[in-house]
Structure 1
């Protein structure tokens, strides 16, 4: 959420940096192909995605920058909503996927 650095209100900048850093950190630590360390199971990553999305949507209202930095607020809410939609359409428990073996019938 680097675009938040151009926000007018300091709380919008801080929220953007924290949200961005947290999503990148979780991705780097999740158990999938492109991660640096496989510490977080994909099922936990799914729960974190939903919690992160709710946080991104709530941040402009909780920290009071929805009116003073409307562009940053819109981007945070839209990003949170898009992440929820993406999470709803993702099959986190695919039987056939990276590092998973097919079950023998």
Structure 2
């Protein structure tokens, strides 16, 4: 379980376009694919913006967050959220904190085999 401070920081950073990124970097690979994920309730696909809003809303709503040790970069902490998606699918979200930013490492259907 993460501290309230970490949760608030993730939520605050996820709300602002200036403090979030999902840009691929080989040192910290990403699979941020909201356009492949259907929204719970409507079945519409997420946009880049609506995916971040969804993440921030989940964080604000108290969703369970698990921590993992990342392989890339070694020793860093990842924050994992798994929630029910559309039609019984599961949405897998992985975040990382770094230098005043939240890094979107994963946003995809859980059928995708995630690589740390």
Normalising by structure 2, report the TM-score: 0.27
| Greater strand fraction, Structure 1 or Structure 2 | 2
| Greater helix fraction, Structure 1 or Structure 2 | 1
Structure number with larger C-alpha Rg = 1
Normalising by structure 1, report the TM-score: 0.30
Name which structure has the greater RCO, CA cutoff 8 Å, separation 6+: 2
